[in-house]
Amino acid sequence: MPSESAQPFEISETDRVTVYGAKNFPEVAGLLPDSAFLAEDDGRFPADVVLLFVGSAADLAHDLATAAAAVEPGGSLWVCYPTAEIDGGAPDLNRDTVASLVETNDWEPVGDAVLNSQWSAVHGRPAGK
C-alpha cells in the first residue's frame, strides 16, 4: 500500500516516481512517497509520475519542460505550488495560473489537490491523450 503522503498524487506501489524541485523546499519531504527519486536540476529521469515543486511562476516557466519531458507515455505530472507565504514573499501562483502555464506547454490540467495548509497541486496529462 502506498504511504499516506502518496494518496493525493494517485501513486501506486509499482509507479516510478521522479521529483523535481523538492530539495529547494525541505518542508515538503513529508509529502513525498518513500519510493520517489529526487532528480538533480536539468536531468531527465523517466517516470510514471513526475512531481514538480515550484515556488514562483518564473520557476514553473523555467522547470516545466524538463519535468514534463520525464513523464513516460501514459504517465502524469503534478505541479506543486505554495498556497501560503514562503520565505516572506507572497506566492504568485494559484490553481488558475498553474493550469494556464501547464496548458500552454501542451498539457491538459485534469485535476487539483490540496496537499497541506501550505501546498496545493495541479494534475496534468499530455494534451489529447
For residue 92, the domain's CATH number is 3.40.50.150
Q: Are 107 and 71 in contact (CB under 8 A)?
A: no
Residues 47-99: pLDDT tens digits?
999 999 999 999 999 999 999 999 999 999 999 999 876 655 567 899 999 99
**Who contacts 50 (Cβ-Cβ below 8 Å, separation ≥6)?**
17, 18, 19, 20, 67, 68, 70, 71, 75, 76, 77, 78
Residue 18 in this model has a pLDDT that exceeds 50: yes
Domain range for 45: 4-126
For the full predicted model, state whether its pTM sits above 0.75: yes
Cell of 64: 516545466
- Looking at residue 77, its pLDDT comes to 96
- SS3 of 12, please? coil
Domain count, the chain: 1
- For residue 43, name the pLDDT band (cuts at 50, 70, 90): low
